[in-house]
Structure 1
Amino acid sequence: METQPITAGKFGINYGIILGVVMIAISVITYVTGMALEGVQWPNYLYYIIFPVVIFYAISKYKSHNANVLTLGNAIKLGVIIGVISAIVYIVYFLIFTYVIDPEFMSQLMEVAEENMLTQNPDMTQDQIDQSLKFMEMFQSPGIISAFWIGMSALFGLIWSLIAGLVMKSK
């Protein structure tokens, strides 16, 4: 009896969820330890390392599940799906965090940003500070953050899966 090859979509969902949970774990750790308000970035760099590792691993597993057959198109499809699903998982957490867990966090973040602006640029006028804060506030909209996160995750999923697909595609 012949087994059906697994589709990239179904295969990518699991790895996308895993990647989204990794990002949530990093966010929770930075929030609980206070690193989020301090502006510490190194935990986020872990995600930028884990992201391509998961993409490469998922593509290699996908290839082995499909009798070592991999097309570049399937690799790209898999990487983009993983990126988008991980973004959706993280966005759900972000919305719950923003509206339920700590609704004051974004305003605290704005206060810290204003303090940092004044510390780093003591010559800034109040109008310049207000403009900068208005710009930052515009980009804190859940809709804009969600669209940006999905777009960037899809783009990086595309880039990493293209690289992985070129390396691992069937000859």
Structure 2
Amino acid sequence: MKPHQIEALKFGTKYGIITGVIGIIFTVVLIALNMLYNQSIEKTLSGFVVLIVPIITAIYIFKKKNNSLAVEQAIGVGVITALVAAIVTILFTYLLTNFILTDFWDNSAAINRIQLKEQYPAITPEQLQENIALKQKMSWITYPFILLFNLCIGFVVSLLTGIALKTK
């Protein structure tokens, strides 16, 4: 590995851990405010900010420290940051949903049931139960989704940041 690759790996890992910890704090605040199951646009946008700002910050500090930045370096730092943050988030989500809030999936299903009834008033009880059962069966998809989502956002944000901050 070249020195810049090792440095990008270190930066990405450091800021990925920081991003993951910020995400954990965000989730704890949501729990404290009884907003964990809330699906508002404000909560979604706040979650984006929690992921995007540390990626941009990591790339900016990387550039400042090295007095130069190539788009490839920005992508490296950003994607590694997003990857490490995803791993931290997946581990925390697993602990949260299986050991801390053991009724998490049941609560999610209850909220989902209410939302489905509101969206589709003509839904039959059988259809409703089928839909909820399928979603509960597919809850494992949450973990790879977190990984893919973080990597996609990390790539796009780091590409745009790299283009904006690259040195000539």
TM-score, normalised to structure 2's length?
A: 0.88
Show the counterpart of 2:93: 94
Task: Give deviations 1:78-135, integer Å, cap 9, x for gaps.
Answer: 1100111111111111111112111111111101211221233221122331332133
Equivalent pairs counted in the alignment come to 165
Show the counterpart of 1:31: 31
Change (3 A) 1:50 1:38: closer
Show the counterpart of 2:156: 159
Q: How does 1:1-171 map to 2 (within 5 A)?
A: 7-66=7-66, 68-141=67-140, 144-171=141-168
Identity %: 28
Contact 1:69 1:170 in 2 (8 A): yes
CA-based RMSD of the aligned residues comes to 1.8
Contact 2:23 2:50 in 1 (8 A): no
- Unpaired runs of at least 5, structure 1: none
Contact 2:16 2:81 in 1 (8 A): yes
Corresponding residue SS for 2:36? helix
Report the residue type matching 1:50 in the other structure: V
Report the residue type matching 1:23 in the other structure: G
Question: How far 1:41 moved relative to its partner?
Answer: 4.7
Corresponding residue SS for 1:7? helix
CA distance in 1, matches of 2:48, 2:105: 23
Moved more, 120-129 or 144-153: 120-129
Question: How far 1:38 moved relative to its partner?
Answer: 4.2
- Unpaired runs of at least 5, structure 2: none
CA distance in 2, matches of 1:97, 1:57: 28
Report the residue type matching 1:122 in the other structure: P
TM-score, normalised to structure 1's length?
A: 0.87
Report the residue type matching 1:168 in the other structure: L
Question: How far 1:40 moved relative to its partner?
Answer: 4.0
Moved more, 34-43 or 144-153: 34-43
Change (3 A) 1:33 1:81: same
